[in-house]
Amino acid sequence: MTAPIWLASVQRKCVMKSALNQHVLVLNRLWQAVNVCTARRALTLLFQGHAQAVLNTEDGAFRAFDFQEWSHLSQEATPDDAEAVHTISLRLRIPRVILLLIYDRLPKKEVKFTRHNIFERDHNTCQYCGQQCDRNDLNLDHVIPRDRGGPTSWENIVCSCIECNTRKANHTPQEAGLHLIRKPKRPKWRPFVEIKLSFHPHDSWRHFIDLAYWNVELGEELN
Protein backbone atom coordinates (compact mmCIF):
# COMPACT_ATOMS: atom_id res chain seq x y z
CA MET A 1 0.00 0.00 0.00
CA THR A 2 1.50 3.32 -1.02
CA ALA A 3 1.75 6.16 1.45
CA PRO A 4 -1.06 8.29 -0.08
CA ILE A 5 -3.43 5.30 -0.17
CA TRP A 6 -2.52 4.31 3.39
CA LEU A 7 -3.06 7.87 4.59
CA ALA A 8 -6.46 8.03 2.86
CA SER A 9 -7.42 4.74 4.53
CA VAL A 10 -6.46 6.06 7.98
CA GLN A 11 -8.33 9.29 7.35
CA ARG A 12 -11.45 7.39 6.25
CA LYS A 13 -11.35 5.25 9.41
CA CYS A 14 -11.04 8.38 11.54
CA VAL A 15 -13.94 10.03 9.69
CA MET A 16 -16.10 6.92 10.17
CA LYS A 17 -15.28 6.76 13.89
CA SER A 18 -16.17 10.44 14.22
CA ALA A 19 -19.40 9.93 12.28
CA LEU A 20 -20.45 6.99 14.48
CA ASN A 21 -19.96 9.13 17.59
CA GLN A 22 -22.24 11.92 16.38
CA HIS A 23 -25.37 12.69 18.39
CA VAL A 24 -28.81 11.48 17.37
CA LEU A 25 -32.09 12.61 18.92
CA VAL A 26 -34.31 9.76 20.12
CA LEU A 27 -38.11 10.00 19.99
CA ASN A 28 -40.52 7.65 21.69
CA ARG A 29 -43.40 6.02 19.85
CA LEU A 30 -45.47 9.19 20.42
CA TRP A 31 -42.85 11.33 18.65
CA GLN A 32 -41.70 12.92 21.92
CA ALA A 33 -37.99 13.58 22.51
CA VAL A 34 -36.70 11.33 25.28
CA ASN A 35 -32.96 10.92 24.87
CA VAL A 36 -29.78 11.39 22.86
CA CYS A 37 -27.67 8.49 21.62
CA THR A 38 -24.69 8.00 19.33
CA ALA A 39 -25.05 7.36 15.62
CA ARG A 40 -23.59 3.89 16.23
CA ARG A 41 -26.44 3.06 18.63
CA ALA A 42 -29.02 4.63 16.32
CA LEU A 43 -27.90 2.55 13.34
CA THR A 44 -27.93 -0.60 15.48
CA LEU A 45 -31.53 0.06 16.56
CA LEU A 46 -32.45 0.82 12.96
CA PHE A 47 -30.87 -2.42 11.70
CA GLN A 48 -32.55 -4.47 14.44
CA GLY A 49 -35.96 -3.08 13.51
CA HIS A 50 -36.43 -1.38 16.87
CA ALA A 51 -36.37 2.12 15.41
CA GLN A 52 -36.90 4.08 12.23
CA ALA A 53 -34.94 7.02 10.88
CA VAL A 54 -36.84 10.31 10.77
CA LEU A 55 -36.27 12.81 7.98
CA ASN A 56 -37.84 16.13 7.10
CA THR A 57 -38.91 15.63 3.49
CA GLU A 58 -39.09 18.23 0.74
CA ASP A 59 -42.77 18.95 1.44
CA GLY A 60 -41.91 19.90 5.04
CA ALA A 61 -43.42 16.78 6.60
CA PHE A 62 -41.50 14.34 8.78
CA ARG A 63 -41.39 10.76 7.53
CA ALA A 64 -40.05 7.63 9.21
CA PHE A 65 -37.95 5.12 7.27
CA ASP A 66 -37.19 1.50 8.19
CA PHE A 67 -33.70 0.10 7.60
CA GLN A 68 -34.34 -1.06 4.05
CA GLU A 69 -35.93 2.24 3.05
CA TRP A 70 -33.13 4.20 4.75
CA SER A 71 -30.49 2.11 2.97
CA HIS A 72 -32.14 2.82 -0.37
CA LEU A 73 -32.41 6.52 0.42
CA SER A 74 -28.75 6.59 1.46
CA GLN A 75 -27.68 5.31 -1.96
CA GLU A 76 -29.70 7.99 -3.73
CA ALA A 77 -28.40 10.83 -1.59
CA THR A 78 -24.81 11.98 -1.76
CA PRO A 79 -23.85 13.08 1.76
CA ASP A 80 -20.19 13.81 2.48
CA ASP A 81 -18.14 11.43 4.58
CA ALA A 82 -19.02 13.28 7.79
CA GLU A 83 -22.70 12.53 7.12
CA ALA A 84 -22.37 8.84 6.23
CA VAL A 85 -20.69 5.58 7.16
CA HIS A 86 -19.49 2.94 4.74
CA THR A 87 -19.75 -0.84 4.92
CA ILE A 88 -18.39 -3.35 2.43
CA SER A 89 -21.62 -3.39 0.47
CA LEU A 90 -23.37 -0.09 1.13
CA ARG A 91 -23.22 3.46 2.31
CA LEU A 92 -25.48 4.51 5.17
CA ARG A 93 -26.52 8.06 5.87
CA ILE A 94 -26.29 9.11 9.53
CA PRO A 95 -29.83 9.66 10.86
CA ARG A 96 -30.21 12.81 12.93
CA VAL A 97 -33.47 11.71 14.56
CA ILE A 98 -34.78 8.20 15.20
CA LEU A 99 -38.21 6.99 16.27
CA LEU A 100 -38.47 4.09 18.71
CA LEU A 101 -41.22 1.72 17.61
CA ILE A 102 -42.24 0.18 20.92
CA TYR A 103 -41.24 2.73 23.56
CA ASP A 104 -43.96 5.17 24.60
CA ARG A 105 -42.77 6.25 28.03
CA LEU A 106 -41.18 9.55 29.05
CA PRO A 107 -38.02 10.11 31.09
CA LYS A 108 -38.23 9.90 34.86
CA LYS A 109 -40.03 12.97 36.17
CA GLU A 110 -37.93 13.28 39.30
CA VAL A 111 -34.88 15.51 39.09
CA LYS A 112 -31.94 14.21 41.09
CA PHE A 113 -31.36 16.08 44.33
CA THR A 114 -27.78 17.17 43.78
CA ARG A 115 -25.67 20.24 44.49
CA HIS A 116 -25.43 20.86 40.73
CA ASN A 117 -29.21 20.85 40.26
CA ILE A 118 -29.82 23.12 43.24
CA PHE A 119 -27.47 25.68 41.69
CA GLU A 120 -29.34 25.27 38.41
CA ARG A 121 -32.75 25.66 40.02
CA ASP A 122 -31.66 28.85 41.80
CA HIS A 123 -29.76 30.17 38.74
CA ASN A 124 -26.56 30.59 40.80
CA THR A 125 -28.35 33.36 42.70
CA CYS A 126 -28.44 33.99 46.44
CA GLN A 127 -32.04 33.42 47.47
CA TYR A 128 -31.82 36.07 50.17
CA CYS A 129 -30.23 39.11 48.51
CA GLY A 130 -30.70 38.21 44.85
CA GLN A 131 -27.01 38.53 43.94
CA GLN A 132 -25.81 36.20 41.19
CA CYS A 133 -22.46 34.69 42.09
CA ASP A 134 -19.86 32.26 40.91
CA ARG A 135 -20.61 28.83 42.32
CA ASN A 136 -17.42 28.92 44.36
CA ASP A 137 -18.87 31.94 46.19
CA LEU A 138 -22.20 30.27 47.00
CA ASN A 139 -23.20 28.04 49.88
CA LEU A 140 -26.17 25.72 50.24
CA ASP A 141 -28.24 26.90 53.18
CA HIS A 142 -30.90 25.11 55.22
CA VAL A 143 -33.76 27.63 55.44
CA ILE A 144 -34.90 26.01 58.68
CA PRO A 145 -31.64 25.01 60.43
CA ARG A 146 -30.96 21.30 60.74
CA ASP A 147 -30.73 21.42 64.53
CA ARG A 148 -34.30 22.73 64.53
CA GLY A 149 -35.57 19.85 62.49
CA GLY A 150 -35.05 21.37 59.07
CA PRO A 151 -34.78 18.61 56.45
CA THR A 152 -32.19 18.37 53.70
CA SER A 153 -34.67 18.60 50.86
CA TRP A 154 -35.60 20.63 47.79
CA GLU A 155 -38.06 22.62 49.90
CA ASN A 156 -35.52 23.58 52.58
CA ILE A 157 -32.23 24.08 50.72
CA VAL A 158 -31.36 27.28 48.86
CA CYS A 159 -28.30 28.97 47.41
CA SER A 160 -26.86 31.64 49.67
CA CYS A 161 -23.97 34.04 49.18
CA ILE A 162 -21.23 34.00 51.81
CA GLU A 163 -22.33 37.32 53.32
CA CYS A 164 -25.98 36.28 53.74
CA ASN A 165 -24.98 32.83 54.93
CA THR A 166 -22.73 34.35 57.59
CA ARG A 167 -25.46 36.80 58.64
CA LYS A 168 -28.08 34.07 58.88
CA ALA A 169 -25.83 31.66 60.76
CA ASN A 170 -27.95 29.21 62.76
CA HIS A 171 -31.18 31.23 62.58
CA THR A 172 -34.33 31.27 60.54
CA PRO A 173 -34.53 33.93 57.83
CA GLN A 174 -37.01 35.91 59.93
CA GLU A 175 -34.73 35.88 62.96
CA ALA A 176 -31.82 37.08 60.81
CA GLY A 177 -33.88 39.79 59.13
CA LEU A 178 -33.68 38.05 55.75
CA HIS A 179 -36.40 37.23 53.26
CA LEU A 180 -36.44 34.55 50.56
CA ILE A 181 -36.84 35.99 47.07
CA ARG A 182 -38.75 32.84 46.12
CA LYS A 183 -40.02 29.80 47.94
CA PRO A 184 -37.81 26.78 47.27
CA LYS A 185 -39.58 23.99 45.40
CA ARG A 186 -38.82 20.65 43.86
CA PRO A 187 -38.13 21.31 40.16
CA LYS A 188 -40.60 20.02 37.63
CA TRP A 189 -39.16 17.84 34.90
CA ARG A 190 -40.21 18.54 31.34
CA PRO A 191 -39.19 15.52 29.27
CA PHE A 192 -35.80 16.20 27.76
CA VAL A 193 -36.19 19.96 27.47
CA GLU A 194 -34.27 20.82 30.62
CA ILE A 195 -30.92 19.82 29.16
CA LYS A 196 -28.30 22.30 28.12
CA LEU A 197 -26.21 20.57 25.51
CA SER A 198 -22.43 20.70 25.53
CA PHE A 199 -22.63 20.44 21.75
CA HIS A 200 -24.57 22.25 19.04
CA PRO A 201 -27.83 20.40 18.27
CA HIS A 202 -28.68 19.55 14.70
CA ASP A 203 -31.21 21.84 13.01
CA SER A 204 -33.58 18.92 12.44
CA TRP A 205 -34.08 18.64 16.23
CA ARG A 206 -35.80 22.00 16.53
CA HIS A 207 -39.21 20.62 15.65
CA PHE A 208 -39.09 18.20 18.58
CA ILE A 209 -37.41 20.19 21.33
CA ASP A 210 -37.58 23.69 22.76
CA LEU A 211 -33.95 24.75 23.03
CA ALA A 212 -34.81 27.73 25.22
CA TYR A 213 -35.46 25.43 28.19
CA TRP A 214 -32.27 23.37 28.03
CA ASN A 215 -30.46 24.36 31.18
CA VAL A 216 -28.63 21.45 32.78
CA GLU A 217 -25.65 19.39 31.75
CA LEU A 218 -26.23 16.39 29.50
CA GLY A 219 -25.19 13.07 31.01
CA GLU A 220 -24.63 11.88 34.54
CA GLU A 221 -25.47 14.37 37.28
CA LEU A 222 -22.66 15.30 39.64
CA ASN A 223 -22.99 15.54 43.38
**pLDDT beyond 60 at 19:** yes
Which domain-ending residue is among 91, 107, 123?
Answer: 107
Range of the domain at 175: 110-187
Q: In terms of domains, do 169 and 156 share one?
A: yes
pTM of structure: 0.51
CB neighbour list of residue 159: distance below 8 Å, 6 or more residues apart: 118, 119, 122, 124, 125, 126, 127, 138, 139, 140, 141
Which of 21-25, 57-61, 81-85, 126-130 is predicted most confidently?
A: 126-130
Model confidence over 96-128: pLDDT tens digits?
999 999 876 666 656 778 888 899 899 999 999
Per-residue model confidence (pLDDT) at position 109: 59
Q: In terms of domains, do 91 and 115 share one?
A: no
Q: Classify residue 16: in a domain, yes or no.
A: yes
When pLDDT is cut at 50, 70 and 90, the band that residue 221 belongs to is very low
Nearest to 180 by CA among 130, 113, 121: 130
Instruction: Give the percent of the chain with pLDDT over 90.
Output: 42
Which domain-ending residue is among 71, 90, 107?
Answer: 107
Question: Is the distance from CB of 173 to CB of 210 less than 8 angstroms?
Answer: no
Task: Please tell me whether residue 142 adopts helix, strand or coil conformation.
Answer: strand
Mean pLDDT across the chain: 78
What distance in Å separates the CA atoms of residue 13 and residue 11, rounded to the nearest whole number? 5
Model confidence over 27-80: pLDDT tens digits?
888 888 888 888 889 999 999 999 999 998 777 788 999 999 998 888 775 555
Task: Please tell me whether residue 161 adopts helix, strand or coil conformation.
Answer: strand
Question: Is the distance from CB of 119 to CB of 138 less than 8 angstroms?
Answer: yes
What distance in Å separates the CA atoms of residue 106 and residue 137, rounded to the nearest whole number? 36
